[in-house]
Amino acid sequence: MIARLLTPARLLLGAMLLAGGLNHFAGRFMPAPEGSTPLAIQLMEALHFSALIDVAMGMQMATGVAILVNRFAPLALAAVMPVNICGLYWALVLERSPVWSLFAGLAVALTALLMFALLHRYAAMLAPRALAFGESEGQRFETLYARPCGQTGGRDFALALLPLAGAAAFYHFIVPSVLGFWCLMVLLVPLAVLVLRGLQAMLVNPERER
């Protein structure tokens, strides 16, 4: 019974997310939440002022397409669930709107249903000490970016710099300036750890690093 509901649920959720994103970027063709209570209005104004609403709607549109065509659905569902939960909080707690709460609650429920149906795809992530993509038993991301005592040199050092550079470019060019600045400040921590590990590798094996 539940299995027969998965395809309609996926199509409905994907259509809702895609429609919400298009409604924001392509001009409103259906009502959009704005807020009528003081807290709901303040949060919505803050989202528009910081341009975070563009990030949220962009995620909704991209994940809506992925869910509709059933490609990278586990990733898309995991990415959009926090956005949907924030929408439910705004509608249910701040705005206290029965209509918007119904839509937001439906989005959360459909996302949760599909995620539980794909639970086996998340199994490796939920395992204790699970390896992330690109990790090995001898080289984990925490050793590269969180533990300054150790050595990372040569090819491993260069490869570890790539995701940091990509994240820095994203926060600098895409994320709004104020939020992007503080995100860049956060990236200084893993960068400092990686540099310290690289220096230790150079000091211990100077010939190897040349």
Do residues 160 and 73 both lie within one domain? no
Do residues 121 and 160 both lie within one domain? no
Do residues 173 and 81 both lie within one domain? no
| Residue finishing a domain among 125, 156, 190 | 125
Any idea what DSSP says for residue 130?
A: P
Any idea what DSSP says for residue 15?
A: H
SS (H, E, C) 188-208: HHHHHHHHHHHHHHHHHCHHH
Do residues 104 and 179 both lie within one domain? no
Do residues 79 and 62 both lie within one domain? yes
Helices of type H across 26-138: 38-50, 52-69, 73-89, 98-117, 123-126
User: So what's the pLDDT on residue 50?
Assistant: 86
Do residues 99 and 22 both lie within one domain? yes
Number of independent structural domains in the chain:
2
Do residues 31 and 14 both lie within one domain? yes
Do residues 8 and 69 both lie within one domain? yes
Do residues 119 and 151 both lie within one domain? no
Do residues 100 and 152 both lie within one domain? no
Do residues 116 and 195 both lie within one domain? no
pTM: 0.71
User: CB atoms < 10 A from the CB of 38, how many?
Assistant: 9
Do residues 137 and 114 both lie within one domain? no
Q: How far apart are CA 136 and CA 131, in angstroms?
A: 7
Q: How far apart are CA 201 and CA 60, in angstroms?
A: 43
| Residue finishing a domain among 125, 140, 167 | 125
Q: Are 167 and 140 in contact (CB under 8 A)?
A: no
| Residue finishing a domain among 125, 145, 163 | 125
User: So what's the pLDDT on residue 1?
Assistant: 59
**Beta bridge mates, 20:** none
Domain interval for residue 136: 131-209
Mean pLDDT by 10 residues, the chain (210 residues): 84 97 92 92 93 93 97 96 97 96 97 95 81 78 90 91 94 85 94 95 70
